[in-house]
Amino acid sequence: MRPATRPTRSLFRQTLFASVAIGVVVLLLLTATINWVVQKDFYRQSFDRLGERAAGVERAYGAYSRGETSLAEFRKRLREIEQENGVRISVVGKRVKFLKQDLYEIGVKPDVRGWVASVSEGNRVEKVAKLRKQDATMVVVGFPLLKNGQVAASAFVYEPSADVKRLAMPIRRSIWLVALLCAGPVILLLWFATRRLVAPIRRMGNAAVAIAQGDFTSRVETRGNDEIARLGESFNVMAERMERVEDQRSRLISEISHDLRTPLTSIRGTLQAISDGILTGDEQKEFVGLGLSETARLGKLIDQLQELSAFEEHRVRFDFRKTDLAALAEKTVRQLSPKAEQAGMVFAFEGDLTAGVIARVDPDRMKQAFVNLIGNAVDHNPPGTRVAVRLQGGRRTATIVVEDDGQGVDPKHLPHLFERLYKADSSRASKGSGLGLTIVRHIVQAHGGTIRAESEPGKGTAIRIELPVGGP
């Protein structure tokens, strides 16, 4: 079991590592998102605060432009706003200018020129930038000063921005602290969840190893209706089919050995008797005839095995053409009537030859199917059995039924009746290779049809074929 255990443990470690890694990534993304939200909110508050200072500058300029105050008083008011609020103000205009520190000198050229040009057009500017000769990042709000509805100057209020990272540090520390406190329980939960997820795969691996070692009865327990449960169900179906194939293989070897040994023993006994010279002329003739009969039966068995192999490997070619199934079935019944009469059976065809049932089939292969079905009914029933072939046509399908009122088949054998070399207990001692019905199944499926058996012990058996009228 070790080969299966090693990959499942590897999958367990990989899944657990991936889960923990995803948790760490989510935590980092959460920290970065909170940091971004805090930074954005802080800058928004800074812009709002500078907007209030800008309103004070606009009121002071309004008083100056209306002649209520002088230029000196206007500049004095700007200095008061700077000192009271810890901000810096620059006003750039043709008739009015206030530059405590030249904005062009501390600004980032040509950005500042673009800001001035934008404000001169009547726009409001909000910027966060690292200005020259400043140690801190500056928050800048630019706005136009209007006189008689026209832009008379461009005003800028700016202040150093606080260290947003430093402000967000307590929040990040709190997040990491909570993460560390939750890490143990979360990893434990992930460990249990991963183990539960991998457990069915481990069981399937162990079952696969058991099957590889020859134990085809191994199955996996499935729970729920998720993908892994459906995978387990598919695995069980595969294992069941493999078990059936292995059983068929064993039965194939057993049946082939039996079917080959019987004629070979008869032929060897005949040749030995002839070699020893203990047979009279008439006896030699009789034994040679028996040997030839067994040789023919042996050759037929080999031919059927080769034909079945060709069907299973899809090497058989079909010649589909429009065929009257009623005429084909009636002709087959007439050909096999002497064999049925010799076996003491009542043979009948029930169908309307005048109406006909036209379908696109391979007439030779379909006749072969009729022969196998009728021959199976004749070979596996006692004398006096009535065998009937019924044909019924429809708009889309044609139904062919070969039925008898013989000994029937036990219900437990019906699902396996079309498997190769399968023989029901009631017919195991009778003649036949157990390949005829399997070949019929392949022929019907190649025509796009279905075949099934209906039977009750003591009441007979019916083999029902349904074929599409238009062909496969």
Residue 292 belongs to domain with CATH number? 1.10.287.130
Q: What percent of the chain has pLDDT over 70?
A: 84
* Three-class DSSP category at 122: coil
Q: Give residue for tokens 């079991």.
A: 1
Is 52 within the bounds of a domain?
Answer: yes
More confident residue, 386 or 187: 386
Is 436 within the bounds of a domain?
Answer: yes
CATH of the domain at 456: 3.30.565.10
What pLDDT score was predicted for residue 22? 81
Tell me which of 1-5, 253-257, 342-346 is least confident. Answer: 1-5
Q: Are residues 105 and 160 in the same domain?
A: yes
Q: Give residue for tokens 């200005």.
A: 131
What pLDDT score was predicted for residue 241? 80
Interatomic CA distance for residues 405 and 412, integer angstroms: 19
Confidence tier at 359 by pLDDT (50, 70, 90): confident
**Residue 239 corresponds to which tokens in the numbers above?**
């294992």
418 phi and psi angles, rounded to 5 deg: -100, 10
What pLDDT score was predicted for residue 1? 41
Please calculate the CA angle 218-221-223 and round it to the nearest 5 degrees.
160
DSSP structure string for 42-58 = HHHHHHHHHHHHHHHHH
Q: Are residues 352 and 458 in the same domain?
A: yes
Identify residue 297 by its one-letter amino acid code.
Answer: R
* Three-class DSSP category at 361: strand
Interatomic CA distance for residues 415 and 294, integer angstroms: 31
Mean pLDDT of 155-163: 81
Q: Are residues 454 and 305 in the same domain?
A: no
Which of 144, 165, 186 is the endpoint of a domain?
165
- Statement: the pTM of the whole predicted model exceeds 0.85: no
Under a CB-based contact definition with an 8 Å cutoff, are residues 449 and 467 in contact?
yes
Interatomic CA distance for residues 374 and 20, integer angstroms: 68
Task: Please state whether beta strands 346-350 and 321-324 pair in parallel, antiparallel, or not at all (unpaired).
Answer: unpaired
Is 120 within the bounds of a domain?
Answer: yes
Residues written for the chain: 472
308-328 tens-digit pLDDT: 777 777 788 888 998 888 888
> In sequence order, which ranges of 380-435 are alpha helices (DSSP H)?
none
Is 210 within the bounds of a domain?
Answer: no
Is 191 within the bounds of a domain?
Answer: no
Q: Are residues 265 and 283 in the same domain?
A: yes
> In sequence order, which ranges of 121-226 are alpha helices (DSSP H)?
164-212
**Residue 448 corresponds to which tokens in the numbers above?**
């796009």
Q: Are residues 408 and 381 in the same domain?
A: yes
Mean pLDDT of 133-146: 81
Q: Are residues 364 and 305 in the same domain?
A: no
What pLDDT score was predicted for residue 227? 76
More confident residue, 42 or 104: 42
What pLDDT score was predicted for residue 7? 46
Q: What percent of the chain has pLDDT over 90?
A: 6
Interatomic CA distance for residues 125 and 130, integer angstroms: 16
Q: Which residues pair with 129 in a beta bridge?
A: 138
Q: Are residues 375 and 263 in the same domain?
A: no
Is 329 within the bounds of a domain?
Answer: yes
Please calculate the CA angle 102-103-106 and round it to the nearest 5 degrees.
90
CATH of the domain at 10: 3.30.450
32-78 tens-digit pLDDT: 787 778 778 888 888 898 999 999 999 998 998 888 888 888 888 98
Interatomic CA distance for residues 167 and 223, integer angstroms: 52
Would you say residue 432 has pLDDT above 70? no
| Closest CA relative to residue 446, chosen from 318, 296, 299 | 318
Which of 312, 334, 361 is the endpoint of a domain?
312
Interatomic CA distance for residues 209 and 4, integer angstroms: 7
Interatomic CA distance for residues 378 and 336, integer angstroms: 10
290-305 tens-digit pLDDT: 777 778 777 777 777 7
Tell me which of 379-383, 425-429, 449-453 is least confident. Answer: 425-429
Q: Are residues 390 and 306 in the same domain?
A: no
Task: Please state whether beta strands 88-93 and 98-99 pair in parallel, antiparallel, or not at all (unpaired).
Answer: antiparallel
What pLDDT score was predicted for residue 334? 87
Mean pLDDT of 210-217: 79
Q: Are residues 333 and 287 in the same domain?
A: no
DSSP class of residue 162 equals P
Q: Are residues 66 and 119 in the same domain?
A: yes
* Three-class DSSP category at 455: strand
Tell me which of 230-234, 380-384, 419-423 is least confident. Answer: 419-423
| Closest CA relative to residue 464, chosen from 379, 394, 411, 403 | 403
Would you say residue 425 has pLDDT above 60? no
Q: Are residues 297 and 394 in the same domain?
A: no
What pLDDT score was predicted for residue 428? 39
Confidence tier at 164 by pLDDT (50, 70, 90): low
Is 126 within the bounds of a domain?
Answer: yes
Task: Please state whether beta strands 125-130 and 98-99 pair in parallel, antiparallel, or not at all (unpaired).
Answer: unpaired
Would you say residue 9 has pLDDT above 60? no
Residue range of the domain that includes 430: 321-468
Confidence tier at 464 by pLDDT (50, 70, 90): very high
Q: 110: cis peptide before it, omega within 30°?
A: yes
194-203 contact pairs (CB < 8 A, 24+): 194/12, 194/15, 194/16, 194/19, 195/12, 197/15, 197/228, 198/8, 198/11, 198/12, 198/15, 200/228, 200/229, 200/231, 200/232, 201/8, 201/11, 201/228, 202/4, 202/5, 202/8, 203/232
Would you say residue 385 has pLDDT above 80? yes
Would you say residue 5 has pLDDT above 60? no
Which of 289, 312, 335 is the endpoint of a domain?
312
Q: Are residues 299 and 341 in the same domain?
A: no
What pLDDT score was predicted for residue 56? 92
Overall domain count for the chain: 3
What pLDDT score was predicted for residue 52? 92
Is 369 within the bounds of a domain?
Answer: yes
What pLDDT score was predicted for residue 244? 75
What pLDDT score was predicted for residue 376? 83
Would you say residue 3 has pLDDT above 90? no
- Segment (H or E) for 126: strand 125-130
